[in-house]
Amino acid sequence: MLYLIGLGLGDHTDITVKGLAIIKKAKRVYLESYTSIYCDDGINELQQFYGRPVIAADREFVEQNSDQILANAGNDDVAFLVVGDPLGATTHTDLILRAREKGIEHRIIHNASIINACGCCGLQLYNFGEVVSIPLWTDTWRPTSFLDKIEANIDHGLHTLCLLDIKVKEQSIEAMMRGRQEYLPPTFMAVNVAAQQLLESIKEKSKEKATKLTADTICVALARIGSDTQKITKGSLIQMLNVDMGPPLHSLIIVGRSLHHIENEMLKLYSMP
Amino acid sequence: MLYLIGLGLGDHTDITVKGLAIIKKAKRVYLESYTSIYCDDGINELQQFYGRPVIAADREFVEQNSDQILANAGNDDVAFLVVGDPLGATTHTDLILRAREKGIEHRIIHNASIINACGCCGLQLYNFGEVVSIPLWTDTWRPTSFLDKIEANIDHGLHTLCLLDIKVKEQSIEAMMRGRQEYLPPTFMAVNVAAQQLLESIKEKSKEKATKLTADTICVALARIGSDTQKITKGSLIQMLNVDMGPPLHSLIIVGRSLHHIENEMLKLYSMP
């Protein structure tokens, strides 16, 4: 059986009792290490807590070695661990399909994801529209499609959860061209960078017509949700340029409507000084 | 400290290790028993698993006895348990605000919610729009606003997760008028009833103009997600009239766009025979 086990968001104790029991008896344990990271723990803390060896699986490994991951999983239990909930990213659906082709059953052990945990700031999950990913711009690649999606949500009075780019084990163009296995240091987009890209996108688009998202739109910055050091800060988009949310992971919510009384009261707890 | 602890979706072992440790040392443990239910366990199984007494808290209790729930929570730890993730429903934000008024700190221990766990069917969470609640119609009350929201999602090529009505400890109009503490048996809306209401809403609306949601729109029925008996079935909306998903809880996804290759492959696993 292939088990895809969500680890939740904070630290090693955010795994479920069910998930932990499966890890303890699994033949092999893999940790997906490219779509998200744990705030507080590395692989060593996890190994110690589980009392089991854990194999780090980056994108390359999962895409090229699925046969190895799935070896004999018809008879043995294999645990594939994912920070958050296992099915946020496409690649794991892919692993499930490869398992099913081999006649291997799968089971998902769910956990919290930023997609539901973002409700901790007091905004109602019912009032969120499409989730948006904000990719890190380069000098030559500056897509702005996220702005259109945010504006469509605002049109319908819906908040937007923006997931900020994570780059782990990415090669530089130079290394790629030279065929070298050299990797750039990991990058986690901060709220400030996301705000900067949003403000530049607005500036560009507003040359043609007025945008619904403006420098004054209320936002909520989230950092390390679920961990002991989590931080939530409410402010305008332009204020987000200077907010200090500390270490990764960050997310950003764009408020899409006038707030309910109770949403307002909750957000007051997190207002900027 | 007030702890709001998510129990996840399946059974008692879906609690996190962190949540369980808090329950074991909390002064009092309450179980919110009106916005959702566990598939597999009642309060007795929970008490046995935790080794602690658990106080059932229905809507009336939480709204009228928050002082009792929060008594001395400035010094003692109080655990308030919620199936799924703690912040799906407004009422718990309310409890947090009442705690903060009394100077009591709060902490949320997140867990899976149907809002992220619905990704288990293979549809990408990134492609979902606003979540929709479908209330159970009565003879005299037949709102159809959910149809407008589903159609707005389809307009943007987004799937819709429909949460189906739950009625627990509701009074009959007769009992209310007579001031009697008598309650109707609990009702959990089945996928079939939701499909019926959707089809009738379409029929009504299409008298004026063609609807984007039709009897042929592809849907995915979900039942008891996260439990050992979970069931996922793909079919057209009209087929959902006759699908047998078994005991509650049910949810229904309306597919809002042509599917990616990989979404299609995953959904094939759940096609109707």
Tens of pLDDT along chain B (273 residues)?
999 999 999 999 999 999 999 999 999 999 988 766 766 678 889 999 999 999 999 888 888 899 999 999 999 999 999 999 998 766 688 899 999 999 999 999 999 999 999 999 999 999 999 999 999 999 999 999 999 999 999 999 999 999 999 887 777 777 777 877 777 778 899 999 999 999 999 999 999 999 999 999 999 999 999 999 999 999 999 999 999 999 999 999 999 988 889 899 999 999 987
Last residue of a domain, one of B112, B141, B176: B112
How many Å apart are CA A201 and CA A214, to the nearest integer? 10
Whether residue B103 is found in the same domain as residue B125: no
**Bridge partner residues of B187 (DSSP):** B167
Does the residue B192 lie in any domain?
Answer: yes
Whether residue A120 is found in the same domain as residue A93: no
Does the residue A101 lie in any domain?
Answer: yes
Contact in structure between B69 and B95 (CB atoms under 8 Å):
yes
Does the residue B273 lie in any domain?
Answer: no
How many Å apart are CA B189 and CA B166, to the nearest integer? 6
Average pLDDT over residues A238-252: 97
What residue spans of B71-190 are helical by DSSP H? Answer: 90-101, 114-117, 145-155, 173-178
Closest CA to A189 of A132, A262, A126: A132
B110–A108 CB contact, under 8 Å: no
Whether residue A85 is found in the same domain as residue A126: no
Whether residue A217 is found in the same domain as residue A89: no
Closest CA to A82 of A107, A105, A48, A110: A110
B119–A87 CB contact, under 8 Å: yes
A13–chain B nearest CA distance, Å? 5
**Bridge partner residues of A222 (DSSP):** A232, A251
Position A75 pLDDT exceeds 70: yes
Average pLDDT over residues A106-120: 95
Last residue of a domain, one of B83, B112, B141: B112
pLDDT given for residue A206 in this prediction: 94
pLDDT given for residue A49 in this prediction: 95
Position A40 pLDDT exceeds 70: no
Across chain A, the runs of DSSP E, i.e. the strands, are 2-6, 28-32, 55-57, 78-82, 106-109, 132-134, 160-164, 166-167, 187-188, 218-223, 231-236, 250-254
Chain A partners of B9 at a C-beta cutoff of 8 Å? 110
Does the residue B6 lie in any domain?
Answer: yes
ipTM above 0.90, yes or no: yes
Chain centroid to Cα B43, Å, comes to: 18
Whether residue A127 is found in the same domain as residue A46: no
Count of domains in chain B?
Answer: 2
pLDDT given for residue B89 in this prediction: 62
Two tokens at A86? 């296992």
Q: Three-state SS string across B111-131, please?
A: CCCHHHHHHHHCCCHHHECCC
Confidence grade of residue A250 (pLDDT, cut at 50, 70, 90) = very high
Whether residue B93 is found in the same domain as residue B27: yes
Q: Are strands B166-167 and B78-82 parallel, antiparallel or unpaired?
A: unpaired
Annotated binding site of B for S-adenosyl-L-methionine: 9, 85, 88, 113-114, 164, 250
Whether residue B153 is found in the same domain as residue B93: no
The minimal CB distance from B16 to the residues A8, A108, A116 is found for: A8
Does the residue B26 lie in any domain?
Answer: yes
Last residue of a domain, one of B112, B127, B152: B112
How many Å apart are CA A167 and CA A184, to the nearest integer? 9
Does the residue A92 lie in any domain?
Answer: yes
Contact in structure between A221 and A114 (CB atoms under 8 Å):
no
Closest CA to A226 of B105, B109, B81: B109
Which chain B residues in 87-106 lie under 8 Å from chain A, judged by CB atoms? 87-88, 90, 93-94, 96-97, 100
User: What average pLDDT does chain A have?
Assistant: 92
Whether residue B72 is found in the same domain as residue B191: no
Which of B14, B130, B159, B228 to substitute to test the interface with A, most A CBs within 10 Å?
B130
Whether residue A183 is found in the same domain as residue A223: yes
Residue B255: CATH number of its domain = 3.30.950.10
Position A31 pLDDT exceeds 90: yes
Whether residue B69 is found in the same domain as residue B124: no
Give the alpha-carbon dihedral of A185, A189, A190, A195, to 10 degrees.
Answer: 150
Does the residue A124 lie in any domain?
Answer: yes
The minimal CB distance from A125 to the residues B18, B110, B115 is found for: B115
pLDDT given for residue A15 in this prediction: 97
Whether residue A140 is found in the same domain as residue A208: yes
Residue B96: CATH number of its domain = 3.40.1010.10
Q: Which residues, at least 6 apart from B150, have a Cβ–Cβ distance to it below 8 Å?
A: B132, B160, B162, B198, B213, B254
What residue spans of B11-126 are helical by DSSP H? Answer: 17-25, 43-50, 59-64, 66-70, 90-101, 114-117
pLDDT given for residue B40 in this prediction: 65
Confidence grade of residue A172 (pLDDT, cut at 50, 70, 90) = confident
Enclosing domain of residue A79: 2-112
Mean pLDDT lowest among A35-39, A47-51, A227-231: A35-39
Does A256 contact chain B (CB < 8 Å)?
A: no
Whether residue A108 is found in the same domain as residue A135: no
Closest CA to A30 of A63, A67, A1, A4: A4
Does the residue A9 lie in any domain?
Answer: yes
User: From the CB of residue B228, how many other CB atoms can be counted at a distance below 10 Å?
Assistant: 10
Closest CA to B82 of B9, B168, B27, B132: B9
